[in-house]
Structure 1
Amino acid sequence: MKLFVRYVLLALGGLAWSCQSPIMAQNMAESDSIAVIASTDSLLAQPAPQKLNLFQKVLKYFNESNEPRPDKKFDFGIIGGPHYSSTTKLGLGIVASGTYRMRHDSLTQLSNVSIYGDATTTGFLLIGVKGNNIFPENKYRIDYDFYLYTFPSDFWGIGYDNGNNNDNKSSYNRLETIVRIDWLARLCNNLYGGITTGFNWVKGSDFTKPALLNGEPREVISTSAGLALTYDSRDFIPNAARGVYFNVRQRFFPRIFGNKHPFTRTAFIFDYYQRAWEGAIIAFDLHGEFNYGDVPWNMLASLGGSTRMRGYYEGRYRDKCLIETQLELRQHIWHRNGIAVWVGAGNVFPSFSRFDWGHTLPNYGIGYRWEFKNRVNLRLDYGFGKKGQSGFLFNINEAF
C-alpha cells in the first residue's frame, strides 16, 4: 500500500478516558400506591444524564471501539487525523475498518473491509478499499484490492545498479489505478482455488530524466487473468495469531486483453503465525514475484512500500524478479497498546541466472500498535534500509 503516514491525533487520548452514566436510585414504599408515588418522585429527583460534549463523545467512541460486538451484523469504525511522513510530508488521512459475517454462524470466518484516503502538501492524493469477503460456511471467498492515487514520485530507473545510484534520482508525476480481485471456491478444508483478475492503468508525466525509461511509453494499461490457489488456516485474517497462509497466482497479460506489452507473472506468498510467550506472536513472511516477457516499466517487481521492506522508497529498486522476506515479533504491552519489531531482506534481479547475493538489501524497524477495533490494529511503523533510507508508515491492520 502506498501510505507513508504518521498517526498523531486522538488515539492515545482514548486510552486514558472513559465515560460512565450516573446510577439512578429507587425508593420503595410499603403500599402499592405509595410505591408508585415514591418511585415517580425518586425518578424526578434524579439529575438528568450528563450530556457529553463533542470531545467527550470522541474519547468515549475510541475508548469503546475495540469492545467485541457479537450481536452486530456489521462492526464498523473510523479514525482520521493529521500526519507527517518523510516521503509525503504533512497530510490529513482517514482510515476505516469493518468486520462482518454474511450469515450469523460460528463456522464462517469473519469477513473484513478497510477503506482509506489520504491527502498531503506534496500533492499526494489516495483513495482505496480492500478486504476479504467470506461466504457462509467458508465455501467461497472474494479477495479484493482497489486504489486510485496521484503522486509526485521519484524514479531511479530499472535494475539494482540504477536503484543503487543516488545520482539517478529523478522525479515525475504519477497517476495510477490498480484493481485486483480473486474469485475463489473451497476445494477442501482450508484450500481454495479459482480465478484471479487484475487491471492497472498508469500515466507518468514531467519526467526530469526521461532517458531512464529506456524509450518505453509513459502511459500503460495492463489487464490480466489467471489462476489462483490459496491455503488459509489463519484464525483471523486482519491480525492472525496462529495459522498458515499460502497463495500462488499465475497471471497472464496477453495482447487479446489490450496489452501492448504481453507478459506473464508468477507470484507467491507464504506466511506463518505462531504464539510465543504471553502476549507475543511471531510472524514470518516470504514473498516472490517473477515476470517473463515484455514487462512495462510500471509493472516490474518493485521493492518497498507499507507491507514489505518498510522504510524503502517503493519502486526505487525494481526489476523483472523479486524475492523478499521478513520476521516480525508482535508483543502486547498494556491494555490496547503493543509494539512490533522486525528484520527482513530483499533482492531484485532480471532472471534467476543473474541473481546476485551481493545485491541483497537489509531491512529492520520498530512499530507501535493500538487496538482500534477488536483485534484490528492501527500501526505506526518506522523502517530502516540501505543508503540511509528510512520512513514512517501509518496503516490499519498488520503488515502481513
Structure 2
Amino acid sequence: MKRTKRHSFQQLFVFLLTLCMAMTTMQTTAQNTDTDAATVLQNDSNTIRKKGLVDKLMQYLAESDKPDPNKKIDFGILGGPHYNNETGLGLGIVASATYSADRSDSLLERSNASLYGDITTKAFMMVGLSGNHFFPKRHFRLDYTLYAYTFPSYLWGLSYPQSDNDDNKSKYSHDKLEVMTRLLARLNRYSYVGPIVRYQLVHAYKLKDRAPQLLEGQPMTVNDIGVGLSYTLDSRDFILNASKGWFLQLDLMTSPTMLGNKHTYYSAELQLATYRKAWRGAIIAAEIHTRQTTGEVPWSSLSEVGSGRRMRGYYEGRYRDKNVIDAQIELRQHVWHRNGIVVWLGAAEVFPRYSEMRLNRILPNAGIGYRWQFKKGVNVRLDYGFSRNGTGFIFNINEAF
C-alpha cells in the first residue's frame, strides 16, 4: 500500500469517529442568537443553553434504559475515555440498537446492532459494526461483523516459543479490514445452519527490529477470502446479555486458491457457552472456544490469544499459532439500580499440533469489570484484565460472551 493510500485510510477513521461524536451533540446544539442582541443578554443566553445541554445529557442518561414502546428502534449512543499501556489514552464511542423485524409477532427475538469506534493518543483508530438480524417468522437469521483499524503495534513471532520471548518484541504497523456474514436457515426451535463468508485484508508496514525475520518471508499484504458452512444452536433468553440457556456455534471454512488466495488452508472454529442464575442478581457464564487450522495459513490468519471478548488483558496477537484453545468462567453480579460488577478466570494455549501441547505453556487470565445498564438488557462494560505479561483495560458495549 502506498503512503498516500495509508494516509487516506487513517483520515477515513478520523472522519468517521468525528462524525459519530458530532451526532451525539448535534440534536442538543442551540442556534446562535441574533447579532444585534445586547452583550449581557448574549452571555445570559449562552449560560442558559449550557445548563440546558447538561440537563438534557443527564436526562438522556437517566432515561436511556427505559424503552419507548412507540419507537420502532431503541437506539442510544455513548462515549467515554479509557487507557491502555500499549494504545495510550483514548476516546471510545459505543452505540446500540435493538428492533423487531415484525412488531406484530411478540415471540420473535429482537434483532440487534452495535456500533463501536475508538481513537487513541498512540494512533490507534478503529470502527466496527456487528449484529444479529432475525427475519419474520424466524425462517432466517443473519449474523454480521464489519470492522477496520490501523495501529502501530508489536510482533513477537508466529509460534508460542517466539511469542513468549520478550526479546522478540518488534515494532511494526498494520491496517486491517474484516467482513464476516452468516445467513442461517432455521432447522427447529433453536438450531440454524447456512453458509458463512469472510473477507480479510491485512497490510503490514514500517517493520523494525526483528519483525522482517519474524514474518519468515511471508508477504506483508494478505488478501484472505474464506467460505464455509456454519451451524448454530442458540437457546439464550437474550443474545446481548443472557441469563440462561446455551449457545453453540461451529464454523467450518476453507480459503482456497480458486478464490484468489495465495495458498489453500482450512479452519474449524467452535464456541460453546452456557448461562445459569446462581443466586439473587448473580449469573454464572462459562465458555470454551477453539480454532483449529491446517494447511499453509498466512501469518495474519493464525489463531490468536487476546481480544475484547476472550483472554482480556493479553496483547492481541502476541501469542499466535495454528491452533488455540481457551476457556473462561465469569460471575456477573447486579449491585444496585443499573450498576453491576463481574469477575472472571480464564486460560488458553496456542500450539501447532496436539502433540506439542504442554502444561507449562498454559496462559492464565483473570479480571474484574464494571457494568452499567445503558439500554434495557444492554450493558456498557469496563474490564480490567490481568495476563502473564501485564494488564489491559477495555471499554466496550455488550457482554464479552
1:323 aligns with 2:322: no
Checking the alignment, whether the CA contact within 8 Å between 1:347 and 1:359 is kept in structure 2 is: yes
Checking the alignment, whether the CA contact within 8 Å between 2:82 and 2:393 is kept in structure 1 is: no
Query: Could you tell me which residue of structure 1 aligns to residue 43 of structure 2?
Result: none
Question: Higher relative CO (CA 8 A, sep ≥ 6), structure 1 or 2?
Answer: 1
| Higher deviation after alignment, 307-316 or 135-144 | 135-144
Q: Quote the Cα distance in structure 2 between the aligned partners of 1:219 and 1:177.
A: 12
Q: Quote the Cα distance in structure 2 between the aligned partners of 1:334 and 1:118.
A: 29
Q: Quote the Cα distance in structure 2 between the aligned partners of 1:196 and 1:330.
A: 32
How far does residue 191 in structure 1 lie from its aligned partner after superposition?
0.4
Checking the alignment, whether the CA contact within 8 Å between 1:159 and 1:318 is kept in structure 2 is: yes
**Matching residue's letter, 2:116:** Y
How far does residue 118 in structure 1 lie from its aligned partner after superposition?
1.2
Q: Quote the Cα distance in structure 2 between the aligned partners of 1:218 and 1:122.
A: 22
Query: Could you tell me which residue of structure 2 aligns to residue 396 of structure 1?
Result: 397
Query: Could you tell me which residue of structure 1 aligns to residue 16 of structure 2?
Result: none
Cα deviation 1:81-121 (Å, max 9, x = unaligned): 33322221112221100000011121110110001111111
How far does residue 70 in structure 1 lie from its aligned partner after superposition?
3.3
Work out the percentage of aligned pairs sharing the same amino acid: 49
1:182 aligns with 2:216: no
Query: Could you tell me which residue of structure 2 aligns to residue 281 of structure 1?
Result: 283
Query: Could you tell me which residue of structure 1 aligns to residue 220 of structure 2?
Result: 218
Query: Could you tell me which residue of structure 2 aligns to residue 33 of structure 1?
Result: none
TM-score, normalisation: structure 2: 0.86
Cα deviation 1:173-193 (Å, max 9, x = unaligned): 100100110110100110000
Query: Could you tell me which residue of structure 1 aligns to residue 253 of structure 2?
Result: 251
Checking the alignment, whether the CA contact within 8 Å between 2:225 and 2:259 is kept in structure 1 is: yes
Describe how 1:205-354 pairs up with structure 2 within 5 A. 205-208=205-208, 209=210, 210-354=212-356
Q: Quote the Cα distance in structure 2 between the aligned partners of 1:227 and 1:370.
A: 36
Cα deviation 1:290-317 (Å, max 9, x = unaligned): 0100000010001001100000001110
Counterpart selection for 2:362 from 360, 363, 373 = 360
Query: Could you tell me which residue of structure 2 aligns to residue 152 of structure 1?
Result: 152
Query: Could you tell me which residue of structure 2 aligns to residue 201 of structure 1?
Result: 201
Q: Give the CA RMSD over aligned residues.
A: 1.2
SS in 2 for 1:188: coil
How far does residue 158 in structure 1 lie from its aligned partner after superposition?
1.0
Q: Quote the Cα distance in structure 2 between the aligned partners of 1:272 and 1:55.
A: 41
SS in 1 for 2:187: strand
SS in 2 for 1:239: coil
Checking the alignment, whether the CA contact within 8 Å between 2:349 and 2:361 is kept in structure 1 is: yes
SS in 1 for 2:137: helix
Query: Could you tell me which residue of structure 2 aligns to residue 54 of structure 1?
Result: 53
Query: Could you tell me which residue of structure 1 aligns to residue 102 of structure 2?
Result: 103
Gaps of 5+ in 2: 1-47
How far does residue 136 in structure 1 lie from its aligned partner after superposition?
1.6
**Bigger Rg, which one:** 1
Query: Could you tell me which residue of structure 2 aligns to residue 78 of structure 1?
Result: 77
Q: Quote the Cα distance in structure 2 between the aligned partners of 1:203 and 1:196.
A: 24
**Matching residue's letter, 1:181:** T
Q: Quote the Cα distance in structure 2 between the aligned partners of 1:189 and 1:94.
A: 35
Checking the alignment, whether the CA contact within 8 Å between 1:107 and 1:138 is kept in structure 2 is: no
Cα deviation 1:20-77 (Å, max 9, x = unaligned): xxxxxxxxxxxxxxxxxxxxxxxxxxxxxx9961011001000000013333210000
Gaps of 5+ in 1: 1-49
SS in 1 for 2:292: strand
How far does residue 276 in structure 1 lie from its aligned partner after superposition?
1.1
Describe how 1:365-380 pairs up with structure 2 within 5 A. 365-380=367-382
How far does residue 261 in structure 1 lie from its aligned partner after superposition?
2.2
How far does residue 358 in structure 1 lie from its aligned partner after superposition?
2.0
Q: Quote the Cα distance in structure 1 between the aligned partners of 2:80 and 2:217.
A: 41
**Matching residue's letter, 1:171:** K
Structure 1 outlier segments of 4+, above 6 Å: none
Q: Quote the Cα distance in structure 2 between the aligned partners of 1:288 and 1:322.
A: 6
Cα deviation 1:307-355 (Å, max 9, x = unaligned): 0000000111000000000000000000000000000000000012222
**Matching residue's letter, 2:123:** G
